[in-house]
Structure 1
Amino acid sequence: MTPLDALPDPKLLRLFDVLYNCRSVTRAAEQLGQSQPTISIWLARLREQLNDTLFVRTPGGMAPTPRADQLIGPCREVLESLRRLTASEPQFIAATAQRRFRLCVSDASHITLLPRILNHLRSHAPGIRLEAARIDGNTESALESGEADLAIGFVPWLGGGMYQQVLFEQDWVCLSNPKHATDGEPMSITRYRTEGHVQVSAGTGQKLLEAALTRAGIERRVMLELPGFLGLGMVVGSTDLIATLPRHIGQTLAAMHGLQMTDCPLAVDGFTVKQHWHARYHQDSGNRWLRELIRQLFQPPRLADGHA
């Protein structure tokens, strides 16, 4: 096998191909946009590297030697390989694309993000299929290997080699049954301490809530613990229990179940929801398209305009 550094310069291979076709140094110079002296120099170099005259001047033009006839096929294969190597990646056409994307998302995103993304895909990219995976200790390796395309959420532990983009900020709210509300008044810290609570153990921001409770010296009366947000709206809507959760999922559940939403009276650190992807797939046309779609769907205009 010929080492790559022993191959002739691609411009010499291109000369070989053009000259084999046109059989004229003059026409080869015109096609390659070079002067005839330059073409003569290139041809001399090519002859030296391939150890053959390659072309012989005849009344009918520059006739190829038997060695040139043998080499033209491999030469064109190399040129085609170089063309494919340097060609731009095909554009991703969402309307006709057939592709599966895997998103690592939080439990809340099944309710807040996925339906909106899927609704857009069904209308504009019907061949795209989504697969949802959990955000966990395997998320980073999944993004690196390509097993997952994006991670969306509060994932501060992701390491190097990752890109990220801010989507929206989150603070904390409380949900309650309007039948048990106190005339629409804001949730007081006194009421927060005395009411019964639903605790959701899922969600990457729950540690922020737990830290705030510890700082305030509050031990809630937890009457029900759920592994995720599934069923939370029904529980709050049919009981006198209170749920403390990030605003995005709170707004969604309040609208779906007719719940009262108030600002959380407890000082809980907010967090930023971002989309994350690995540097290996930063230029992938499909990944770029998906990232831009999610940005358009969920990033507020003030962030999109650069006024965060």
Structure 2
Amino acid sequence: MNPAELPDLKLLQLFDLLYDVRSVTRVAEQLGQSQPTISIWLGRLREHLQDPLFIRTPGGMAPTPQADALIGPCREILESLRRFAAWEIEFDPATAKRRFRICMTDASHITLLPRMLAHVRAQAPGIRLEAARIDGNTERALESGEADLAIGHIPWLGGGIYQQQLYTQDWVCLMNKHHPRVRGKLGLKQYRAEGHVVIAAGTGAQLLEQALVREQVERDVVLELPGFLGLGAIIRTTDLIATLPRHIGETLAKVNDLSVHPCPIPVEEFAVRQHWHARYHHEAGNRWLRDLVAQLFSSLR
């Protein structure tokens, strides 16, 4: 046999079955082929292996010594192919030792990460989580495996990226419960007149800026922050207003005893999704992480 020419899979299956049943007729029945076809296949296999393999006797097709020697390797190949076809790397969260890197906004550090961490520590004590920024490198990081997931509003991600919607976000205003001038509902006139804290970060911030331009509202910006760190304490100790997505707004309000008001200007809602690359769609660990995120946050819809 030429080493470059390997027997077809069907020939190996024929060899395996014929070794057991010793009958070309029964092999043909079990493989759903005609007897002449099985005879042709057997001829090809004999030519490949340069041996008769089976000799017709009164008791059936008896294997030659060469067939006896080859049946073990043949069955190992077939079993390996069966395992290959059903291959799936198992992921047991209870025993796994692995790092998962998740790209997210700093708002998600406050709203999503604590809950994720609590569940991971309970279910998968050997798992290490690492939070990374969402930026222009996020798509490449997902493709290369440097990052496992990206969670947020990331409409610029391109092809090859799967996504699953977790929940939608509208916009609210956050302020001191004892604000000296705002009582009850926050109206547009009061919104224009008060001082504001602006958060420069956040993947949905552009939607707010577009709404302000569209409604011709110019805010009196007193403070601009790069992220949400410290925002709750600032609102609690001043008379400033912050406009931000509902989930982070309600979370900060609960922790800092602040009041939450509907935003008096119409701002487009956006969807928070988890994103992953097609290369890792079937990878067991990535699937486990995605399922965990979906279970934890899809209820926020």
Q: Letter of the aligned partner of 2:179 in structure 1?
A: H
State how far apart, in whole Å, the 2-side matches of 1:223 and 1:270 are.
Answer: 25
Check the 8 A contact 1:53/1:65 in 2, yes or no: no
Check the 8 A contact 2:24/2:38 in 1, yes or no: no
Q: Letter of the aligned partner of 2:184 in structure 1?
A: E
Q: 1:25 aligns to what? A: 22
Check the 8 A contact 1:96/1:127 in 2, yes or no: yes
The verdict on how the C-alpha distance between 1:79 and 1:34 changes in structure 2, with shifts beyond 3 A counting, is closer
> What TM-score do you get using the length of structure 1 for normalisation?
0.84
State how far apart, in whole Å, the 1-side matches of 2:152 and 2:247 are.
Answer: 12
The verdict on how the C-alpha distance between 1:226 and 1:97 changes in structure 2, with shifts beyond 3 A counting, is same
The verdict on how the C-alpha distance between 1:157 and 1:74 changes in structure 2, with shifts beyond 3 A counting, is same
State how far apart, in whole Å, the 2-side matches of 1:183 and 1:238 are.
Answer: 15
Once the two structures are TM-superposed, the CA of residue 54 in structure 1 deviates from its matched residue by 2.5
Q: 1:175 aligns to what? A: 174
State how far apart, in whole Å, the 1-side matches of 2:38 and 2:137 are.
Answer: 57
Check the 8 A contact 2:173/2:242 in 1, yes or no: yes
Alignment partner of 1:111 is 2:110 = yes
Q: 1:146 aligns to what? A: 145
State how far apart, in whole Å, the 2-side matches of 1:159 and 1:174 are.
Answer: 32
State how far apart, in whole Å, the 1-side matches of 2:46 and 2:8 are.
Answer: 12
Q: Letter of the aligned partner of 2:149 in structure 1?
A: L
Greater CA drift, 32-41 or 285-294: 32-41
Alignment partner of 1:198 is 2:197 = yes
Q: 1:93 aligns to what? A: 92
State how far apart, in whole Å, the 2-side matches of 1:2 and 1:159 are.
Answer: 44
Number of equivalences: 296
Q: 1:274 aligns to what? A: 273
Check the 8 A contact 1:55/1:65 in 2, yes or no: no
Check the 8 A contact 2:89/2:283 in 1, yes or no: no
Once the two structures are TM-superposed, the CA of residue 294 in structure 1 deviates from its matched residue by 1.3
Q: 1:78 aligns to what? A: 77
Q: 1:228 aligns to what? A: 227
Once the two structures are TM-superposed, the CA of residue 262 in structure 1 deviates from its matched residue by 0.5
Which 5+ residue runs of structure 1 have no aligned equivalent?
304-308
Q: Letter of the aligned partner of 1:242 in structure 2?
A: I
Q: 1:62 aligns to what? A: 62
Q: 2:238 aligns to what? A: 239
State how far apart, in whole Å, the 1-side matches of 2:258 and 2:181 are.
Answer: 13
Q: Letter of the aligned partner of 1:204 in structure 2?
A: T
SS at match of 1:225: strand
State how far apart, in whole Å, the 1-side matches of 2:267 and 2:144 are.
Answer: 35
Once the two structures are TM-superposed, the CA of residue 17 in structure 1 deviates from its matched residue by 4.4
Check the 8 A contact 2:182/2:190 in 1, yes or no: no
SS at match of 2:12: helix
Check the 8 A contact 1:15/1:28 in 2, yes or no: no
Greater CA drift, 73-82 or 225-234: 73-82
State how far apart, in whole Å, the 1-side matches of 2:257 and 2:217 are.
Answer: 28
SS at match of 1:198: strand
State how far apart, in whole Å, the 1-side matches of 2:86 and 2:180 are.
Answer: 64
Once the two structures are TM-superposed, the CA of residue 88 in structure 1 deviates from its matched residue by 3.4
Q: 1:188 aligns to what? A: 187
State how far apart, in whole Å, the 1-side matches of 2:193 and 2:77 are.
Answer: 77
Once the two structures are TM-superposed, the CA of residue 74 in structure 1 deviates from its matched residue by 5.1
State how far apart, in whole Å, the 1-side matches of 2:295 and 2:183 are.
Answer: 34
> What TM-score do you get using the length of structure 2 for normalisation?
0.86
How big is each residue's C-alpha offset from its partner over 1:214-265, in whole Å with a ceiling of 9 and x where there is no partner? 2233332222211110111111111111111110100000001001111111
SS at match of 1:131: strand
How big is each residue's C-alpha offset from its partner over 1:91-118, in whole Å with a ceiling of 9 and x where there is no partner? 4333333322211111100000111111
Greater CA drift, 154-163 or 11-20: 11-20
* Percent of aligned pairs with the same amino acid: 61
Alignment partner of 1:9 is 2:5 = no
- The within-5 A match list for 1:260-299 is 260-299=259-298
State how far apart, in whole Å, the 1-side matches of 2:40 and 2:125 are.
Answer: 56
Q: 1:306 aligns to what? A: none
Greater CA drift, 228-237 or 10-19: 10-19
How big is each residue's C-alpha offset from its partner over 1:185-209, in whole Å with a ceiling of 9 and x where there is no partner? 1111122112111111110111111
Indicate the RMSD between aligned Cα atoms, in angstroms: 2.9
Q: Letter of the aligned partner of 2:64 in structure 1?
A: P
